Structure 1
Amino acid sequence: MEQDNQIFGIRAIIEAIEAGKDIDKVFIQKEAQGDLMSDLLKSMRKNNINFSYVPIEKLNRLTSKNHQGAVASISPISFVSLEELVEKTIETKEKPLFLILDQISDARNFGAIIRTAACCGVDGIIISKNGAAPVNGDTVKTSAGAVFNIPICKVDHIKDAVFYLQSSGVTTLGASEKASKEIYDVECNQPLAIIMGSEDRGINPSVLKIIDETAKLPIHSSIASLNVSVACGAFLYETLRQRR
């Protein structure tokens, strides 16, 4: 974690949260206790801040400062709201293209997807507040700076984002190896949101139940699936091909 993008110390992190800073994740020392730590936990839960418990050795690797059992990473970008992203895009584009990432947790995969999304003209990326990869140095580097050129928004629940997009006239399409159709047989030349699932579990079953359609990529191998960033690129470029 880069020193310029981190906050250490319980009180400092609480103040940053209350000031509305875009905090990606907080690392808390395992079995940490005390009134101040209790206040931090309350503040994080109240503001839906992603956090995890780690050994003290992890915190010591993140910073050599007196961290008091807590280190936070600050996002290098500002996130937009879902309503702002969708409304502004629909006002200016006849066939908007959104990308929803359901619990993709690897920062390098995230960065690679952002880079491809920017190349394909994606209008915005939607991620979950909890469980998603942080926007950190690895993300920025792997995206080749594209993270600064495409709107990203965080939502409490992916399902809510799906419902909101559907109510706004956007078709939702999920990538699933269990789909009956291949992506090449799906109509992508329309207002569309493509949903990619996590590296290990795919799209959450509760999300799969509510999306409009699913599609897969042909796999001519005993290997069950592609890397999620590669699969996402294939979906996006087929969408781009249909729209040309």
Structure 2
Amino acid sequence: MEKENQIFGIRAVIEAIHAGKEIDKIFVHKEAQGELMRELMKTLKANNLPFTYVPVEKLNRLTHLNHQGVVATIAPIKFQSLETLVENLLENEKKPLLLILDQLSDARNFGAIIRTAECTGVDGIIISKTGAAPVNGDTVKTSAGAVFNVPICKVDHIKDAVFYLQGSGIKTVAATEKTEDTLYAVDFTEPVAIIMGSEDRGINPSVLKIVDEKAKLPLFGTIGSLNVSVACGAFLYEAVRQRS
């Protein structure tokens, strides 16, 4: 967690929220109490801001200063509304190419994916509010600044985002080994959202149940999977090939 993007102390976090700062991550001591802490929790709920309860040892590792039981990070970008993004794309008669990252947790993988997404003309990236990799200095650096050029949307639940996209006429394609179909059989010339899973668990089974199509990369070595950013690049460039 970069110190320059870090805020700590209950009142400081409350004031940052009231000032409209784009809060990315909030860590709260799970045993913290008091009137001011209750005010913070009320503010978080009123603004629909997710947070994570952590032991005090984690907060102490994040900062050696008096954190009062809460540490947060301010995102270097402003997140966009998924509904606004999709409406604008459809109004402009674009065939959207979107990317959904389901619980991707590594900031550097996230940055690498953003960089490839920017190079391949992706119209927007969708992540969940909880459990997703932070948008921090590592993300910005690994993306080579592309994070400032690709709209990023935070949603409460990936499943709801999938349903919304499907209702908007955008096909959802899951990158998963749990299929016999390869990505070369998928029509990427249609409005489409490609879903990539986390580094260790892949795509959530509940999400896999509702997608329109599943596709995998053919692998010929003894290792059973690719790094998620590499796999994402292969999917995006197949979309580029078909759309060119």
Task: Tell me if TM exceeds 0.5.
Answer: yes
Q: 2:69 maps to which residue?
A: 69
141-150 or 198-207, which deviates more: 198-207
Aligned residue in 2 for 1:234: 234
Which of 205-214 and 53-62 deviates more?
53-62
Q: Which amino acid aligns with 1:204?
A: N
Alignment of 1:28-67 (within 5 A): 28-67=28-67
Deviation at 1:214, TM superposition (A): 0.6
Residues 193-236 of structure 1 show CA distances to partners (whole Å, capped at 9, x for unaligned) of: 00111112111111111111010011112322111111111100
Alignment pair present for 1:5 and 2:14: no
Q: Which runs of 4+ in 1 moved over 6 A?
A: none
Structure 2 Cα separation of the partners of residues 5 and 204 of structure 1 = 31
* Cα drift, residue 57 of structure 1: 4.1
Task: In structure 1, list runs of 5 or more residues that go unmatched.
Answer: none
- 1:108 is aligned to 2:105: no
Q: What SS does structure 2 have at the residue aligned with 1:139?
A: helix
User: 1:50: Cα distance to partner?
Assistant: 3.3
- Measure how far apart 1:34 and its partner are: 2.2
Structure-2 residue corresponding to 1:182: 182
Counting only pairs closer than 5 Å after superposition, residues 188-207 of structure 1 correspond to structure 2 as: 188-207=188-207
- Residues 76-133 of structure 1: CA distance to partner in whole angstroms, max 9, x if unpaired? 0001101111011122243210001111111111111100000000000011111111
In structure 2, C-alpha distance between the alignment counterparts of 1:232 and 1:47, rounded to whole Å? 33
Contiguous gaps of at least 5 residues in structure 2: none
Judge which range, 162-171 or 29-38, deviates more: 29-38
- Cα deviation for residue 168 of structure 1 reads 1.4
User: Match of 2:176, as an amino acid?
Assistant: S
AA at the equivalent of 2:213: E
Matched, 1:165 2:154: no
SS for the counterpart of 2:99 is strand
User: Contact conserved, 1:81 with 1:153, CA < 8 A, in 2?
Assistant: yes
Distance 2:132 2:24 in 1: 9
Name the amino acid aligned to 1:230: V
Identity of paired residues, percent? 73
2:133 is matched with which residue?
133
Encode CA deviations 1:122-145: one digit per residue, 9 max, x unaligned: 000011111111101111011110
Instruction: For 1:20 and 1:180, locate their aligned partners in 2 and report how far apart those are by CA, in whole Å.
Output: 47
Query: One-letter code of the match for 1:206?
Result: S
The letter of the residue matching 2:113 is I
Alpha-carbon distance, 1:26 to partner: 1.2
Structure 2: which amino acid aligns with 1:140? V
Aligned Cα RMSD in Å?
A: 1.6
- d(CA) in 2 for partners of 1:30, 1:169: 42
SS in 2 for 1:217: coil
2:201 maps to a residue whose letter is R
Native 8 Å contact 1:124 1:152 kept in 2: yes
Q: Which moved more, 1:191-200 or 1:32-41?
A: 32-41
**2:89·2:95 contact (CA, 8 Å) conserved in 1?**
no
State whether residues 102 and 195 of structure 1, in contact with CA within 8 Å, keep that contact through their aligned partners in structure 2: yes
Q: Count the aligned residue pairs.
A: 244
Instruction: Give the C-alpha shift of residue 49 in structure 1.
Output: 2.5
